[in-house]
Amino acid sequence: MRRIFSLLYEIDVDKGGITSSMLSRSYALTERGHHVDLVTLDKKDHYAEIEMKLKEQGRLHPHVRILNVYQSYQDQHMQYFPDEQQIKHYEKSSTLKEPGLTVELSRYAEHGEADYFCNGLYVKRKKWNQDKRLLHIDYFNENRYREKREKFHKKGFIEKETLFHWKTNKPSQVRYLAPDGFCYLTEWYHLDSGKLEGLSLFERTDSHVKIFNDNHAFHTYWLERLCEREQSPILICDGVGSASKVNAMKPGLAKRFYCVHSNHLDYPHTLGSPVRKNHQYVLEHIKDYDGLIVLTHEQKKDILQDFEADDNIYVIPHAPRKLNIQEGVEKKKNEFVMIARYHEEKGIDKAIQAMEIVGRTHPDIVLNIYGSGPHQPKYEQLINKIGLNNVHLCGYAPDPAQLYQQALATLLTSKFEGFCLAICESFSCSTPVISFDVKYSPNELIDQHKTGILVKHGDIAELANSITYLYEHPEKAIQYGKNAKQKIDTDYSEERLIERWEQVFNS
């Protein structure tokens, strides 16, 4: 069985798309007996909580861990206990009142913050969480410029100390500290731009410091150390921003695969369009990897039109995430659903505009849109502007199985896709899909008027017609859903897709 690392810059509980794909793949590979861990490079400090919640939701396999670069270095030093001075400092600082200081409490009730003065001089600000645990203290000089922040670990020691430049209020240096005060990592920043200029890594048993010019070099070094400890590991890179870091690793440490999760073409997202900047590096270095994984045969064909490869491009679609599908869920024949990020690339405004047309003749048809994202206010304004009461933004749904099951059909109005998990999930729930015909995957997944309906991209009137057609012919929608379930179980079953992965690993 294989030792596999799946790399994505960050993971969070309310993420779909690439994160869902990564979680589903790691779950299936682990069930097959492989040892899989997820690897992240961001600075979130609550991955233990994220891991626990994902496992509670059933999205993360109980045997899979989330390994984070910064958390891993902290964990190496957690065996050391805070010294007596650290403990006293935390206990003294955690109290709201301090001897010799005057406290201003106006922000305490709402924000958990309090400002402190010493004989009229503003000296510091404290921040607590909702459980009244001290999070950090900011210290100020006599000119009210912030000089330093102490960030506290939940166990009561200073885990990070940030020094600020008085002129810019930007960090000048950050020190990462062990419980006993040992500094194992520092970062320093440019005075004017605030950009990272370098990092230093310290070991207790080594008098030599390791210097890195940037995060790229530091993250690559950590990935190398991760792979060095294993025998013939496999590293699957799922994030475009991490591809160059994986490629910079010493050769021979691991088999390296890169996954393209989305359309690599920029506007208008068709063959002949320029390649998206964040995909340029990956596609120019296909030969450097053991394999490039794409999601559809059409995308592989398009990539080979513009880039050279050593017969190392493989087609492996996403495995749908495990959904809690229930027996006996009845279709609501007036209800349609969308599961999508509230982002402009998902074209949700087109679905809202189509529902305005639908509502003129069929006011009882409703569309429920589940998701989260930056464009929620924009869509709320559009719904209110048109005056619709048949479209609802319902927020993020971690397990949307019943939402798919009870809907007559699912809508997809994206400007582009890589491989649409929403279609796969909808099919798994015996629900057909009405989708714009965009690159890539809708036309490979949807058989016209057999498992759903393909609509010319951007044709709002035809989208509205397709919605009303299925509403007026619910028996067809139900039959399309049965066909869709059969297709996903036959052609895109988890077992088949994992077999493809294993064939690539062994190639």
Average pLDDT of 435-449? Answer: 94
**Residue 393 carries which side chain, given as an amino acid letter?**
L
**465 and 346 belong to one structural domain:** yes
User: What is the distance between the alpha carbons of residues 281 and 215, in angstroms, rounded to a whole number?
Assistant: 18
Please check whether residues 199 and 243 belong to one and the same domain: no
Provide the pLDDT for residue 15.
82
| Within a domain: 503 | no
Does 65 lie in the same domain as 8?
A: yes
Q: Across the strands, what pairs with 191?
A: none
Which of 203, 226, 258 represents a domain boundary (last residue)? Answer: 203
**How much is the pLDDT for 183?**
97
Q: Which of 147, 180, 203 is the C-terminal boundary of a domain?
A: 203
Q: pLDDT digits over 50-66, tens only?
A: 999 999 999 999 999 99
3-state secondary structure of 190: coil
| Same-domain status, 351 and 456 | yes
- What residues contact residue 386 under an 8 Å CB cut-off, 6+ apart? 352, 353, 356
What's the whole-model pTM score? 0.82
Domain extent, residue 457, equals 332-491
Q: Torsion angle, CA of 388/382/431/20, rounded to 10 degrees?
A: -150
Q: 182 and 152, same structural domain? A: yes
Task: Note whether 63 and 169 are same-domain residues.
Answer: no
Please indicate, yes or no, whether residues 69 and 88 belong to a single structural domain of this protein. Answer: no
pLDDT value for 272:
87
Q: Decide if 357 is inside a domain.
A: yes
Name the DSSP letter for residue 172.
E
Does 397 share its domain with 482? yes
The phi, psi pair for 217, rounded to 5°, reads: -65, -40
| In a domain? residue 499 | no
Q: What is the pLDDT of residues 392-411, one digit of tens each?
A: 999 998 889 999 999 999 99
Q: What is the CATH number of the domain that holds 227?
A: 3.40.50.2000
Q: Give one DSSP letter per residue of 425-438, joined into a string.
A: HHHHTT--EEEE--
Q: Are residues 482 and 346 in the same domain?
A: yes
| Contact by Cβ (8 Å): 34, 499 | no
- Residue 186: both structure tokens together: 């520092």
Residue 319 has pLDDT above 80, yes or no: no
Strands (E), 274-400: 291-294, 313-315, 332-339, 366-370, 391-395
